[in-house]
Structure 1
C-alpha cells in the first residue's frame, strides 16, 4: 500500500506531513511512501533524506496522487480553501485522505471531497481522550505556536524580558499576561518564564489554576460567578452576555499594566471570544505588544486583523494564523508522528482496515463512499449547530 506525501500548496506553508523518520516508521507497517520532489525542502528535509529513508521521490503531483492509496497532508481542502481545490480532480473513489481539513469551519469542502468518492479523515476531530493524544495535531501544533508567540513578543517588545542587575543600573523584568491556559497558553507561559518575565495567566476554567501555577505563572482571578466553566472536550463553556461584559471590564484593569499579552482562547469552528477591547488596549503603555493566537477566528483582541500588524496608541497587535509553520522542522516531525500513529489505527498488516467501532476512527471520519458521514459535519451542512 502506497502512502503519498505531496508538497503543501497553502501560501506560506513550510511544513510537510511526513518526515524521513516517519517514512521509516511506516515501513514497519508494510507501507511504502512516495514523496513529491521538494515537499520537505522548506522544513529542512531534502529529497535525498527521503530516499535514504526508503521513500520514492516523485516529480509530478498527478503521478503521485495516481499511484497512492493514502494521501497525507498538513492542509487539505478546507484548511487550504483556495489552492486546495486544485487537488479535487486528482482524488478518486476509495482513496484515503488524511490531514487537517477544518471541517467545522468549512463543512462545504467536506461535501466537495465526498463528491470525488474519496474517504476523508480530519484529525482535528479526534476526541479528547487519553488514547488519542498521540494523534492530536491540535495539541502538537499549539505547542509550537505557544512557544513561537512568546519569542515573537520578546522580539517586538522594546524592553528586555529578564531582571538584570548591571553596573548601569537594574532592569526590571517584563510583565506578561497569557489569556487561555490550553496547550498553547501553557507553552507560552513556560517560554516567558524561561526568558525571565514575570508571568500572569487567566483561564475561565477553575481547573486551569493548578496547571497555570505548575508552569510558574500567577493565576488571575475574576469575579464572574461562572461555576463549572469547562465544556465538552476540555474547552471552556460559552459565557452569558452579562458574564462576557464583566470579564472584559475586569480584564481591562489587568491588561493595562502588562508589557505583553498573548491570547489563545479559541474554539474550533466558532468565532473567538473578544477578551481585550479597544479601550483596554488604549490603556496599555506605548511599546506594549499583543500576540493574538485566536486571530484566524476573529481574534481575542477587538483590534486584531488576521496576519497583519496593527499599531494603536503605540501598542503593537499581531494576529499570526500559522505560527507552527515558523518552526517547520520540529513542527513537521511532531505532525508526522501524529500521522504515523493514526495510520496504525486504520492499517493492519499493510491493508486498510477502517474500524468504526474505534471512537477515534469514527469521530475523525468525515466522508466515505460519496457521502458526508460525520454527524457533526452533516448538521453544519444542514445549517444546524452541533
Structure 2
C-alpha cells in the first residue's frame, strides 16, 4: 500500500508512558510502512504511572490483537482481564430500578476490564523504539515539525510528537474548554480481593459488567479483574469532604462483603477538552487531550481515536495538504470529546435514589449549565446540536431506519438504553 505521507514522517516522538503513550508508540510501530523510521519513546522514570483497573469499549479487543499479533485469549490473560459486556447502573435515575447499558449487539459485543499497567507492558513488547529517560520541559511547534526541550540534554526536532504527559497543571480558558457540567472532580481508588477466579486453561469467558453504584456523595465503580477488583468512589470535593466519602466507602465495601482493601490513591481531576488536540506536528493524546470522569470508560477509546486519526492523516495524505487537514482533524476530535462529555453529564440529569446535597447539586445546578458551556460560538463546533438531535430522536414516536446508526460519540442505541433506564 502506497502511503504518500510516510516520507515526511521519518522521525517521531511519543512523550509519556501511560496508557495513551504506550498505545501511540505501539501504533507507530505497526502502522508506519518503513522500518527505517525513527521512533523515540520519551518518559521520566521518576514520575510513577498509577496502575488502576480500567474499562474500555469493544474496539480495543481487535486493536490489541492487531498491535500485539497475539490471539485474543492470550491478550486477555496477559491483561488479567475479564470480558465487559456493558455497565450495570444501580440506583441511578428516577425510576428506582437498576438497569444495564449493554454494548451492541447485546450479549455478543464485549470490551475488556483490564489492568492499565499490564496493558502498558504488553504494548511495550510490540514497540520498536529508542527509549529516552529524561524530563521534558516543553514541546514547541517549529517550522515543518516540533521540537522537544529536555532538562540536561540538547533539544531534538521531530516530524510528529505525541504529547501523552497527562493533565495540565491548570486550566486556561484560552487553551481549554471547561466541561464542569460533569459534577465530579475527585476519585478515591481502592484495590480489593478478586471476585473472578483466574483459569489456568484459558481466559475467563463469563459475562461481566462494570458496576456503577449511586451513593450519597457520588457513585462507586466496581471493575472485576482476575488479579483483584478495582473500586473507585467518584465525587465532588467542593461538595463532600474526603473524610465523608471514605466513611461512606467503608460502609459500601462492608455491605458488599469486601473484607479488606488496599488504599491506592486519591486523585483530583479536571473535566476538560484541549482546544488544540492536533496542530499538524503536535498531537495531544489521552489525558493531555481531554479528560472526564470514568462513568462510561471514555479514556482509552478516546486515545485510540486520537492516535488512529493522526497517524492515518499523516501517513495517507501528502504533506502539502497538512495545513488544511490539521484544523479539520482537530475540530473533529474536539467535537467527539465534547459529545462524550454531554453524554456523561446527561447521566446525572435525572438524579438518583439519594436526595443528598451532591445529587441536588448535580441535577439542579451543574447539568443545567451545559447549554451555556457548549455554546457553538464558545467551542467552535456543533456538539450541542448533535446531542440535541439524539435527544429529539428518542422523543419521536417512530425512529426511521435511516437514523438507527446515528452517532453522537456513542451510538443511538446507547442513548436509548440510558434514556429508558434513567427515566429521562
Asked which structure has the greater RCO (Cα within 8 Å, sep 6+), the reply is 2
More strand by share: 2
TM over 0.5, shorter chain:
no
Give TM-score scaled by structure 1 length. 0.31
Give TM-score scaled by structure 2 length. 0.29
